[in-house]
Structure 1
Amino acid sequence: MKKLLLSCFALLISTQLFAQEPLKIGAKAPLFSLKDNAGKQVDLKKILKENKSVVLFFYRGQWCPHCNKHIKNLQDSLQLLAAKGAYVIGISPETAAGIDKTIKKTKASFSIISDKDYNVMKAYKVNYVMEPGLAERYKKGGLDVALANGQTDYVLPVPATYIIDQSGKIKYVFFDKDYKKRPSVKNLAANL
């Protein structure tokens, strides 16, 4: 009976992830104001006043090789994005110590924010709870996602990127439930 209940719960969680939909192009971007990895206050409303657009991306953690590759690509092309008037912000549920590791691995010089309460992830509709079996497989592989996030639950973001224009509206969305996929910098630059 217990096994049946766990299977039903896992199916419900999986269905929730597969049914999850991102914010749409043209929607008003939810505002936030949080401190980044360097202690700088990152206020989306203020940043939008000072820049043509914001590239806001969500990543899982420093332990994710696909995330690190994407962050490195963004860093390598940061001058190109900035020349188009874009300000880049990364959001992760991982702890500040995890973000420090991300920065060390990727040399990221843009703002990265620890969304420890998942408020930004929830506002942008990218949060999901890992199914228990998946969380256990990660643990057996040496990664406790809850511990990496400084939490007791197993929440990750769907890898997603939003480009927000100066008026605060979403003008581009990349949202793929396949954690291996990310938008190319070329694609992002073309949508700025």
Structure 2
Amino acid sequence: MKKYLLIVVIALACLPVFAQTGLTKGDSAPIFNAKDNVGKIIDLKALLKSHKSVVLFFYRGEWCPYCNKHIQQLQDSLQLLSNKGAYVIAVTPETNEGINKTIQKTHASFSIIQDKGYQIMKDYKVNYVLDDATVAKYKTYGLDLNKSNGNTDHILPVPATYIINQMGKITFVHFNKDYTKRATVNDMLQVL
């Protein structure tokens, strides 16, 4: 029964997403400062001085099987990415409780930022608002976005990935409104 409900939730999530267009290759990356899941201050400008690049990606929540699969792939390849001089950062609207569940499911050891006010998502133009009907349907299948995100505005990110070089320029973009399509580690490694 749970598998059936999950399939229905995923099918509903396939409804067209009305989102921004994301940033493009060559754009200057918006600078941000935020605390990650372990309380570390993540200063993008400082990271770009101390690392060759930053891999910045956005995910919807621990309830999304595609997000968990992508995070697990990044975790499994973290040493390869790090060996190329990359620092990996995940950004999500979910609460700290949700982030902890994500870590339990995926064993993610990289920085995860709760974008509570959606400023990072807005700056990178990946935010969108789910319509009320979709939110209500999610709830009938056990997904309460109000609880998951700790608010009532139902904003989620397109699960985009950006690679930012030391000059602060975006050198790689994977932005697809189809949340099932994610950047591959291989694609990232080729850019790094």
TM-score of the aligned structures, taking structure 1 as reference length: 0.90
Shift in Å, 1:24: 1.1
Match of 1:173 in 2: 173
Give the number of equivalent residue pairs: 177
Deviations 1:34-88 (A, max 9, x none): 0000010000000000000000000000111100000000000000000001000
Shift in Å, 1:152: 1.2
1:55 is paired with a residue of what secondary structure? strand
Q: Determine the C-alpha separation between the residues in 2 that align with 1:80 and 1:160.
A: 20
Match of 1:49 in 2: 49
Q: Indicate yes or no: 2:94 matched with 1:105.
A: no
2:168 is paired with a residue of what secondary structure? coil
TM-score of the aligned structures, taking structure 2 as reference length: 0.90
Q: Determine the C-alpha separation between the residues in 1 that align with 2:154 and 2:97.
A: 18
Match of 2:10 in 1: none
Deviations 1:120-162 (A, max 9, x none): 0000000000011111110111111122100111110001000
| Cα root mean square deviation, aligned | 1.0
Unaligned runs of 5+ residues in structure 2 are 1-15
Q: Determine the C-alpha separation between the residues in 1 that align with 2:46 and 2:111.
A: 14
Match of 1:76 in 2: 76
What amino acid is aligned across from residue 33 of structure 1 in structure 2?
Answer: N
Once superposed, which parts of structure 1, at least 4 consecutive aligned residues long, lie more than 2 Å away? 14-17
2:153 is paired with a residue of what secondary structure? coil
Q: Determine the C-alpha separation between the residues in 2 that align with 1:180 and 1:22.
A: 17
Q: Determine the C-alpha separation between the residues in 2 that align with 1:177 and 1:140.
A: 24
What amino acid is aligned across from residue 59 of structure 1 in structure 2?
Answer: Y
Q: Does the aligned pair in 2 maintain the 1:146–1:155 contact within 8 Å? A: no
Q: How does 1:17-32 map to 2 (within 5 A)?
A: 17=19, 20-32=20-32
Larger radius of gyration: 1
Quick one: percent identity of the two aligned structures? 60
Match of 1:88 in 2: 88
Q: Determine the C-alpha separation between the residues in 2 that align with 1:125 and 1:136.
A: 25
Deviations 1:13-49 (A, max 9, x none): x6843xx211111111001100000010000000000
